[in-house]
Structures are given as structure tokens and as C-alpha cells.
Structure 1
Amino acid sequence: MERREFLKMGIIAGAAVAASGMSVLAEASYTEFTLSECRKLTPQQMAENSGAVMESWKYIQAQAAGIKNPGLRKAVQDIIANPAPRLMNAVSGRKKEVYKELEKNGWLKGVSYDTFLPENGSAKQANQPFYSAPGSGYSSHHCYPGGLATHTALNVEMSLALYDNYKKIYGFDLDRDVVVAAQILHDLHKPWVFQWQKDGSSRNENKLAGTGEHHVLGVAESIVRGLPAEVCVAQACAHNHPGFSKDEEGPVRWLKAASIIADVDPVKYGLLAADGKTLPLQRSMEAFVTHLGDHDWVLTVPAAKWLIPAMEEIAMQDYGMSKADLKSAKFYAFRNAVFSQATIMALYHLMQKDGKEALRKQVHAIVKA
């Protein structure tokens, strides 16, 4: 049986996606498959056969298509269609110089010269599609094939709700293009950073300038591709806001690090104020909205932390796995398949509301015990 036919899951029975919003109706109607069949699926196949992931991916594409500025719209669409690290071109021939400059500033603590950029970087072709990447590290939020798509879709929807409510309550428009572009791109290099490994886990992330390397590399990518400064600034603010001096130090540092990688002057590009100490004045409200919109992790990180041990328990009790198997491709294929089809958030909600037995039944509906 064709793999795509085999995995026509009913996890998403109906969906309505429009540029103004996203509505997904979830119903549990599954075609069973076995543990051995899970092992044969690639992360990309898992993502492509997940209703939740594919509807999220369609929504992201629809929002990108709705950007009014034609140049910005094309840039965003190009990036999500092929999130290849073109910044490799900017670094080519100057990698030692870039490393030394970052290291001099204390932004590469514990990271060697050979590993300060993820492996398998090609300026022409991404090593995996945007929609098949996990949303974070393998023990963190949305850690399954397609997790980046579901995470980004929710964040864009959250950001647009803030955009709408500022207009509704205060009577003014923010720059919708900036809000949408910055949020879609806020994790653009997770497909590069969180590459899937042979055992089914994902690559471990290094730190860069005091945050996960994906963040600085993503901002650098936007600069290299010539995105407007206001989008790059808002993107940099996803991990912290500029409301207080101590908080603003983060975005300023990340923009400086990204500028070193991209080989630009951050002040001349418009990324920093004339003194190079703050973001451009007056500080952008769109940057705050991007930061507020990227708070899906507040719930999804602990949800993953609580759900993964429950999945390990089910794997040992119901699928004959040993404790050693839990650190192997056998378990990783199992959890990747279940999480990609049902999502960690939906499964955690089920466990929280109805208990572990309900979770167990749901897992059995996806993978035949």
C-alpha cells in the first residue's frame, strides 16, 4: 500500500483555512499502523500525512500570500519554500573572522570553531522542508515532525489577534505586514538547526549570543536576504522585548551578532539607533507584538516535559519496549509518529482532562499495540 494512502489519518476531520484566520475541527478517526511501519516513515512523510501539520502549513502559506508589500511577500514566500542558509555565502571566506569576532564578545561560550554553525549548510537548498522540522529541541516544545508548522501557525494567529485588538480597543493600525512577516520568520532556521538524526531524534542546539543559535542565525538570514530593518528588528524581539533596558540588551546583542554574520553595519542598516546601544527610536510596537505572539512555549514546553514520560510508560507497558529502547530509534520512531499525527498539545490536553487511560487509548488508535 502506498505510504500516503496508508497514513490517511482522521486526526483532522475538517478544516477551514482563510487569510483572516484558522479553524481546525479535530476528531479521532484513525487508520491503525504498526510499530515496524513507524520505523519506515521519514520525518517528512510523517509531517505530510498529518492533518494538523498540513493545515498549519497551508495557513502559514496563506498568511504569507496576504502580505501586501510585493517585495516582502516574495521574500517571505521564498524563505519558507526553501529555508536554505544563504548566510553561508556571507560567511564564505570569512568564517574565522566571524568566529573570532563573536568569540571576542563572549557570544560563543563552549562552542568550537568547527561547530559554531550547524552542519550540512547549503546556500542553495535546505536540508529539509520548513514543514517537517520540529518546533524545538527533542525534549522541548513541539518536538515532532511538523512541530515548527503548528508552533508558527499558532504564533501567527496569536499575533494577528493582538493586531486586531489594538485596532479594536485603541483605534489604530499597526503594520500588519511586519507583524505577519516577523512572526512567520521568527524560527526560520529551525529546519537547519534541528536536523533529524539517523536514530529519529533531532540535533542538539548550540548557544549563540546568549540564546538558541536558531534565533541569531534566523535574524542574520533575514538581513542577508535584504528584508526591511523593521522586520528584522521585530524578528529579533521574539525572544525578548525592548520595554526595559535589561530586556532590550537581548535584541540589541542578537542584532549585533546577526550583523557580524551577515557582514553589515547594524546602524546603517537601520537595526539599531545611531549610538548602537538601543533599538531604533521610537521603539516599534510591532516588535512587542512579535514578542507577545511567540509565547506558545509557556505552556508547550511543560506539556512536552509531562507528556514524554507518559509516552515512555505506554511504550514499555503496551508495546514491549525496554528502558534501553527509550533512548533508541525504536522509541523515537514511535513517539515521532504519534506526536506528529495527534500533536503534543492535543495529547496533553486529553491526558490532563481525561487521564492517562484516555491517552493510552488515543495512542493505540494511532499505533497498533
Structure 2
Amino acid sequence: MKILFVIALILSLPTCAYAQTGAGNQAATAIAAASPFVQRAYAELKAAAEGIGDRRLAGATRDGLEPETCIAHRVGLTDKDKQGIVTALIAQGFLKGGGDLTDGVFPLVVGDESPCPHLPQPIFAAPGGNEGSHHDWPGGLVQHEAFNLLNALDLAEAYHDQSGLTPDRDTLTAAVIWHDWAKSLVFQWQDIGVEMPEISIAGTGAHHILGLAETMRRGLPASLVQVQACAHAAPEDGDRIEVDNWLRAAAIIARVDPSKYLPAKGVWPEECHIHTLSDQNWMVAEPAAVMANEALAAAAGAFGFDPADVKTYTWHFRLIALSTLGADRIAEAWRREGDRGVLALLEPLRARGLF
């Protein structure tokens, strides 16, 4: 019962920084910290950041992966500042909907309004997708990023070998790591084990815009920010205006001049299209996540869990299984052998005392 002991220990520490943003973030941190599968992906990302040739970019990207990193676009922001930014986003048509949208643009963090606000959870504890979507478990974010990074670098090599292009691997590496970085802000864990909802900014998930605001505020190269912006769409035809708007919205949040980040004469770096292609893992991972969640719900009774007891089932069974094995393996076992295959895959986890 090692992982349960770790969770109980963390939840018992009211002085822990993450207690300020909820017990859910603490429990997710414990699960992800105990998963070799997650920690391997996290180590791969840190090694990739360290390997970036541009030492300033390497240092900033490596720092962004650390739990104690300062959130640059949140440093010193007051409630008045936040409201002014939200008002500007609404005025430009980048925010829509009624009610107070401030918490969606500025999720709860540790040390808000301080000289060094911290992430509400380590990046290795965050999920890679929203509730019910791809990689929606503790550590899913770093696993998603590690996979996308392999995609990006393999595509760069293929373009070099087959077309003679020389994509900048440093830019691609940093763009992949920074693109989903803000999911650690927007996909926080509620105590019951589900994620907080994400709002839309400029027609896309808030994490995309907040990640761009972070690299802008850190003063990272405009070429990197441009490639990072291309994750959700290539700047072609009608999507060009959309990508421009993502940069403009991020610049409002970062309090910088957007013209610095809009490509001169509309010419985007060639790495943009590679980044767009490399971010498509969700197309395979999302169906796998749906199938894995169905398989786990069907298998839960054999391990003494009831999916109707959402909090217990989620924290003590579902998220542990997903963080330890990943949705792809569970879905594959179900496709090949049905319930029997899933039970065989999960039984070693029970033997190890994980649940």
C-alpha cells in the first residue's frame, strides 16, 4: 500500500505549498511521483531541455519544468491588473461568455501577487487533457509531451532526409515542451478527483494562450513563440488569422507588444508546420482513453471498487491504474482479450500494493 501511504502523508501536511491550491493537487502529485512510467517521461523532457544548444533557451526551458519555477506572466499581478487584462481580452473579442472570467484566465496559484508565484502542482502531476479526454491522469501531461517531442524530432529528421530541409531542433524541442506547459495551471485537480474546467481564449483552450504568454513574458525568442503558437493549427488560409489572434491574446496577458511576435511579411518559420503535425497524438490517444476508462469501470469490482463511489474509485483505483500503465496499454489489452486481458494487466498492480 505504498502509494496510498504517500498520498495520506502528503494530505496530512497542511504546511505543504500545494495545500493552498487544494488536496486534489497534492494527491495527484503523490500518484505521479510514484509512477516510474510518468517519471521516465519527465526525465526525458528534462534531458531534452538540457540538450538544447542555445544555453539561454535551454536554461529557461529547463527552469519551466521545475516545480519551483516562477510563473513569469503572473509576477506581481494584482486583482486590479487581472481585471484590466480580462477587460482588454473581452474588448478584442478574445473572451466571450457571462460571469467572472478572471479565474479562468488566472487560475489559482501558489504565492499569487508575490514576486515569484509558483505552479499549483508540479508539471509532472498535471493531466495532459481535460476530463474524459486524452492523458487525463496524473502525469499524463509529461507523457503527452514526451510522445509529441519524439514526433516532432522524427518529423524533422524525415524532412531533412527526404527534402533537404534543416529544421531547428532546438526550437522544436522548446516549442513542444512550452506549448502544453500551462495545463499545470488550468487542469488542476479537485478534491473529488476530477479536473477543473478550462475556458476558451481566442477560440482555443486557455492553456495554449497562457503558455504563449509565459514564453513572451520570459523574453524567449520570437521564432520560438511563433512555432509554439502553431501547435493547434498551421498558419495557412483561414487559420492564419486564428494563429495571429492567439499571439495577440497572449500578448495582452503578457503585457507585451504583439508586433514583436507576428511574423514579418506573414512568413512563418518552417518548424511551424512540423509542430502542428507533431501535436496530433490526441487523435489516437483520445479513443484509447475512452476505451480504457470503460475497461477500468468494468474491472473495478474485481478489485473491490465501485465506480459510483467517485472519489474513492478515482483516487484509489482509476488514476493509479492510468498513471502506472497508461490508457494505450489498457485499451490494447481490452481490444485483444476483453475483460480478462484487463484483469491480467491490473493484477500485478494489486500484488505491488498499489490498490
Q: Do they superpose with TM above 0.5?
A: yes
Q: Which residue number corresponds to residue 75 of structure 2?
A: 89
Q: Deviation of residue 296 (structure 1)?
A: 0.7
What CA RMSD, in Å, does the superposition of the two structures yield over aligned residues?
2.4
Residue 321 of structure 1: how far off its partner (Å) = 4.0
Alpha-carbon distance between aligned partners in 2 of 1:176 and 1:233, rounded to the nearest angstrom: 15
Alignment partner of 1:190 out of 176, 183, 197: 183
> C-alpha distance in 1, partners of 2:6/2:81?
48
Look up the SS of the partner of 1:72 in the other structure.
helix
Q: 1:351 aligns with which of 334, 337, 351?
A: 334
CA distance in 2, matches of 1:247, 1:207: 17
The residue aligned with 2:28 is 43
Question: Could you tell me how far apart the structure 1 residues matched to 2:236 and 2:30 are?
Answer: 42
The residue number in structure 2 matching 1:112 is 100
1:266 and 2:258 aligned = yes
- Partner-residue secondary structure (3-state), 1:42: helix
1:256 to 244, 248, 254: 248
What is residue 25 of structure 1 aligned with on the other side? none
CA shift, 1:90, in A, is: 6.8
Query: Is 1:297 aligned to 2:290, yes or no?
Result: no
- TM-superposed CA distance for 1:97, in Å, is 1.8
**1:39-72: per-residue Cα shift (whole Å, max 9, x none)?**
9x93222212222111111111111111001111
Q: What do residues 268-302 of structure 1 show as CA deviations (whole Å, max 9, x unaligned)?
A: x2x1146xxxxx53221111111111111011112
Q: 1:273 to 1:342 in 2, by over 3 A?
A: closer
Distance in 1, matches of 2:150 and 2:319, equals 25
Matches within 5 A, 1:1-369: 42-82=27-67, 83-89=69-75, 91-92=77-78, 93-110=80-97, 112-116=100-104, 117-120=106-109, 122=112, 123-244=116-237, 246-267=238-259, 269=260, 271-273=261-263, 281-315=266-300, 317-322=301-306, 324-325=308-309, 327-367=310-350
The Cα shift of 1:256 comes to 0.6
Change (3 A) 1:250 1:127: same
State how far apart, in whole Å, the 2-side matches of 1:360 and 1:6 are: 25
Uncovered stretches (5+) of structure 1, i.e. residues with no partner: 8-38, 275-279
Deviations 1:294-336 (A, max 9, x none): 1110111121122212211222x324444531x3343343101
CA contact (8 A) 2:214 2:254 kept: yes
Shift of the 337–59 alpha-carbon distance from structure 1 to 2, 3 Å rule, reads same
**CA distance in structure 1 between the aligned counterparts of 2:130 and 2:183, rounded to whole angstroms:** 9
Deviations 1:122-171 (A, max 9, x none): 44322211111111112111111110111000000000001111111122
Contact 2:180 2:211 in 1 (8 A): yes
Structure 2 length-normalised TM: 0.85
More displaced stretch, 152-161 vs 354-363: 354-363
Question: Is the 8 Å Cα contact of residues 216 and 258 (structure 1) preserved in structure 2?
Answer: yes
Following the alignment from structure 1 to structure 2, what is the Cα–Cα distance between the partners of residues 133 and 331? 15
Please say if residues 85 and 252 of structure 2, whose CA atoms lie closer than 8 Å, have aligned partners that are also in contact.
yes
Task: Give the aligned residue type for 2:339.
Answer: K
Structure number with the higher helix fraction is: 2
Percent of residue pairs identical: 31
Q: CA deviation at 1:104?
A: 1.7
SS of match in other structure, 1:152: helix
Cα shift at 1:101? 1.2
Deviates more, 1:107-116 or 1:45-54: 107-116
**Alpha-carbon deviation of 1:91?**
4.4
2-structure distance, mates of 1:144, 1:363: 16
Distance in 1, matches of 2:307 and 2:313, equals 11
- What is the aligned length? 327
Write the distance in 1 (CA, Å) between the matches of 2:102 and 2:57. Answer: 34
- Distance in 1, matches of 2:324 and 2:162, equals 38
Q: What amino acid does structure 2 have at the position aligned with 1:212?
A: G
Q: Is the 8 A contact 1:135 1:143 kept in 2?
A: yes
User: CA offsets per residue over residues 195-254 of structure 1, 9 Å max, x none?
Assistant: 12212222221111111111100100110111101111111110111122x122221111
8 A contact 1:84–1:127 mirrored in 2: no
Q: What is the identity, as a one-letter code, of the residue corresponding to 2:90? A: E
Is the 1:134–1:194 Cα contact (8 Å) retained in structure 2? yes
Q: Which amino acid is 2:71 matched to?
A: P
- On the 8 A contact 2:226/2:263 being kept in 1, the answer is no
TM-score by length of 1: 0.82
Q: C-alpha distance in 2, partners of 1:216/1:80?
A: 18
1:84 Cα deviation from its structure 2 partner = 4.2
